[in-house]
Amino acid sequence: MPVCLAGAGALLRVAATTFTLSWTHTIEKIPWVESWAISDKTLLLTEARVKGSGAGMEPPPEARLVDGWYVWHPENPQRREIVLRREPVAGDWTFCAPTVPCAPLGKLLPQDADPVTIKPCD
Protein backbone atom coordinates (compact mmCIF):
# COMPACT_ATOMS: atom_id res chain seq x y z
CA MET A 1 0.00 0.00 0.00
CA PRO A 2 1.50 3.35 -0.99
CA VAL A 3 1.80 6.36 1.30
CA CYS A 4 0.04 9.64 0.47
CA LEU A 5 1.22 13.15 1.31
CA ALA A 6 -1.45 15.84 1.05
CA GLY A 7 -1.44 19.59 1.54
CA ALA A 8 -2.65 22.82 -0.10
CA GLY A 9 -4.94 20.83 -2.41
CA ALA A 10 -2.10 18.68 -3.75
CA LEU A 11 -1.71 14.92 -3.33
CA LEU A 12 1.50 12.96 -3.80
CA ARG A 13 1.28 9.14 -3.90
CA VAL A 14 4.59 7.47 -3.06
CA ALA A 15 5.01 3.80 -3.96
CA ALA A 16 6.71 2.77 -0.73
CA THR A 17 5.81 0.90 2.44
CA THR A 18 8.53 2.53 4.55
CA PHE A 19 9.69 6.12 4.91
CA THR A 20 11.54 8.44 7.26
CA LEU A 21 10.76 11.92 8.51
CA SER A 22 13.50 14.14 9.84
CA TRP A 23 13.82 17.68 11.13
CA THR A 24 16.11 19.88 13.19
CA HIS A 25 14.96 21.33 16.51
CA THR A 26 14.59 25.10 16.04
CA ILE A 27 16.30 26.10 19.28
CA GLU A 28 18.66 23.23 20.11
CA LYS A 29 19.67 22.64 16.44
CA ILE A 30 19.61 18.89 17.10
CA PRO A 31 18.49 16.48 14.35
CA TRP A 32 15.62 14.04 14.96
CA VAL A 33 14.67 11.14 12.66
CA GLU A 34 11.65 8.83 12.74
CA SER A 35 11.31 5.62 10.72
CA TRP A 36 7.79 4.61 9.68
CA ALA A 37 6.22 1.56 8.03
CA ILE A 38 2.76 0.94 6.60
CA SER A 39 0.84 -2.03 7.93
CA ASP A 40 -2.66 -2.53 6.53
CA LYS A 41 -4.21 0.95 6.84
CA THR A 42 -2.00 2.05 9.72
CA LEU A 43 1.30 3.89 10.06
CA LEU A 44 3.75 2.26 12.47
CA LEU A 45 6.53 4.27 14.10
CA THR A 46 9.27 1.64 14.10
CA GLU A 47 12.18 3.70 15.41
CA ALA A 48 13.06 7.18 16.64
CA ARG A 49 16.52 8.63 16.98
CA VAL A 50 17.88 11.94 18.14
CA LYS A 51 21.46 13.22 17.91
CA GLY A 52 21.53 14.64 21.44
CA SER A 53 19.22 16.04 24.06
CA GLY A 54 17.88 19.42 24.96
CA ALA A 55 14.71 21.40 25.53
CA GLY A 56 11.82 19.10 24.63
CA MET A 57 14.12 16.53 23.03
CA GLU A 58 15.08 14.28 25.90
CA PRO A 59 15.35 10.65 24.78
CA PRO A 60 13.32 8.22 26.88
CA PRO A 61 15.02 5.99 29.49
CA GLU A 62 14.98 2.97 27.15
CA ALA A 63 16.98 4.80 24.45
CA ARG A 64 20.42 3.45 23.69
CA LEU A 65 23.37 5.44 22.37
CA VAL A 66 24.36 4.04 18.94
CA ASP A 67 26.95 5.81 16.77
CA GLY A 68 26.22 9.15 18.43
CA TRP A 69 22.41 8.83 18.20
CA TYR A 70 19.96 7.98 20.97
CA VAL A 71 17.80 5.24 19.41
CA TRP A 72 14.58 3.68 20.71
CA HIS A 73 11.41 1.91 19.62
CA PRO A 74 8.46 4.02 20.78
CA GLU A 75 5.49 2.58 22.65
CA ASN A 76 2.03 2.98 21.06
CA PRO A 77 3.54 3.38 17.60
CA GLN A 78 0.33 3.10 15.55
CA ARG A 79 -1.22 6.12 13.85
CA ARG A 80 -3.95 6.50 11.24
CA GLU A 81 -2.19 9.60 9.94
CA ILE A 82 0.52 12.11 10.72
CA VAL A 83 -0.30 15.82 10.57
CA LEU A 84 2.71 18.07 10.20
CA ARG A 85 2.65 21.83 10.67
CA ARG A 86 5.13 23.87 8.67
CA GLU A 87 6.62 27.22 9.60
CA PRO A 88 9.24 28.68 7.25
CA VAL A 89 11.38 30.15 10.04
CA ALA A 90 11.54 26.72 11.73
CA GLY A 91 12.94 24.90 8.71
CA ASP A 92 11.16 22.16 6.81
CA TRP A 93 10.51 18.49 7.40
CA THR A 94 12.51 16.10 5.22
CA PHE A 95 10.75 13.07 3.72
CA CYS A 96 12.71 10.04 2.47
CA ALA A 97 11.46 6.79 0.96
CA PRO A 98 13.13 3.99 -0.99
CA THR A 99 11.42 5.25 -4.18
CA VAL A 100 11.80 9.01 -3.52
CA PRO A 101 15.10 10.78 -2.85
CA CYS A 102 15.19 12.67 0.45
CA ALA A 103 13.65 16.11 0.01
CA PRO A 104 12.08 18.87 2.07
CA LEU A 105 8.27 18.82 1.97
CA GLY A 106 8.39 22.14 0.11
CA LYS A 107 9.99 20.34 -2.84
CA LEU A 108 7.34 17.57 -2.86
CA LEU A 109 4.19 19.63 -2.26
CA PRO A 110 3.33 23.30 -2.75
CA GLN A 111 5.56 25.57 -0.71
CA ASP A 112 2.56 26.89 1.23
CA ALA A 113 1.20 23.42 2.13
CA ASP A 114 0.35 23.67 5.82
CA PRO A 115 -0.63 21.40 7.36
CA VAL A 116 0.67 18.33 5.51
CA THR A 117 -1.06 15.02 6.17
CA ILE A 118 0.73 11.70 5.67
CA LYS A 119 -1.28 8.48 5.66
CA PRO A 120 -1.68 5.18 3.83
CA CYS A 121 -3.39 5.79 0.50
CA ASP A 122 -6.94 4.52 0.06
Domain boundaries, the chain: 3-108
* Per-10-residue mean pLDDT, the chain, length 122: 95 97 88 93 95 82 94 91 90 95 96 96 88
Residue 106, SS3 per DSSP: helix
Q: What is the pLDDT of residue 32?
A: 93
Instruction: Determine the Cα–Cα distance for residues 44 and 35; give it in Å rounded to an integer.
Output: 8
Q: How far apart are the first and last CA of the chain?
A: 8
CA of 2: how far to CAs of 23, 59, 98, 99, in Å?
22, 30, 12, 11
Q: What is the pLDDT of residue 51?
A: 92
Summarised one tens digit per residue, pLDDT across range 27-62 is 888 899 999 999 889 999 999 999 987 777 788 999
Name residues whose C-beta falls within 8 Å of residue 96's C-beta, 6 or more positions apart in sequence: 19, 20, 22, 102, 103
Q: What is the pLDDT of residue 119?
A: 97
CA of 30: how far to CAs of 26, 36, 64, 89, 91, in Å?
8, 20, 17, 16, 12
Q: What is the pLDDT of residue 85?
A: 95
**Percent of the residues in the chain that have a pLDDT greater than 70, as a whole number:** 100
Name the pTM for this structure: 0.92
Q: What is the pLDDT of residue 118?
A: 98
